[in-house]
Structure 1
Amino acid sequence: MPEVLLRHRITVEPYAGESAYGPQYRHAIPNVPAMIDETARMVRAPDGRQVTASATIVAGPLLDCPPGSRITLPDGRTTTAITTAHHTAPGLPVPACTEVTCE
């Protein structure tokens, strides 16, 4: 995805797993270029539940944001990644990107 189209900046704290104290996150990645769509839509979570996503984020193809990651949006709202999809088309003249749906 051309960075010129990624006008928003987000902070991503990649999910590292659960501990006795709750979810654990790796070091925050600040100022990640992204495009945000805050349209609500139904998505299926990794455990099979249908949930409402409040935002969809499109970022570069190398974004490290597994489901469960904590994301801070440009308006300061903190949300959690529900699903992450890497879109690629090797050999075709289309941009690669990562799409993240958030609670």
Structure 2
Amino acid sequence: MNVPGWLMPHRITVEPYAGDGAYGPTYGPREMVAALVVETRKRVHDREGREAVATAQIITAPDLDCPPESRVTLPSGRITRALAVTPYTAPGLPVPQCTEVMCQ
């Protein structure tokens, strides 16, 4: 079971991180995604284990393609990057599956 659509009233744009190129980071094609966005401050660890402060928490569908370092445009128009991405699944249990993205 996935998170119901009515719980995701916001729209964000995700450009999946594809690696570093000769001129800096490269990204995949943009995708508009339904999400629940909460702009809050939390301490998280980035993909290299360093402590960072996230300023936005995003909850979205479990099939989101958003590796750490992806570029995310929030509903406010602010462009940020994904620090930590966590899939939540509970096979066999009657709880919704989702993906949490913590953004810089």
TM range (shorter): over 0.9
CA RMSD of aligned residues (A): 0.6
2: distance between equivalents of 1:51 and 1:85? 16
Question: 1:28-81 deviations in whole A, cap 9, x for unaligned?
Answer: 002x10001111010011111110000010000101000010000011000000
2: distance between equivalents of 1:81 and 1:102? 4
Gaps of 5+ in 2: none
TM-score calculated relative to the size of structure 2: 0.96
TM-score calculated relative to the size of structure 1: 0.97
**Stretches (4+) displaced over 2 A:** none
Match of 2:82 in 1: 81
Q: What is the number of residues matched between the two proteins?
A: 102
Match of 1:12 in 2: 14
Match of 1:35 in 2: 36
2: distance between equivalents of 1:4 and 1:67? 26
* Per-residue deviation, 1:22: 0.2
2:60 equivalent to 1:59? yes
Gaps of 5+ in 1: none
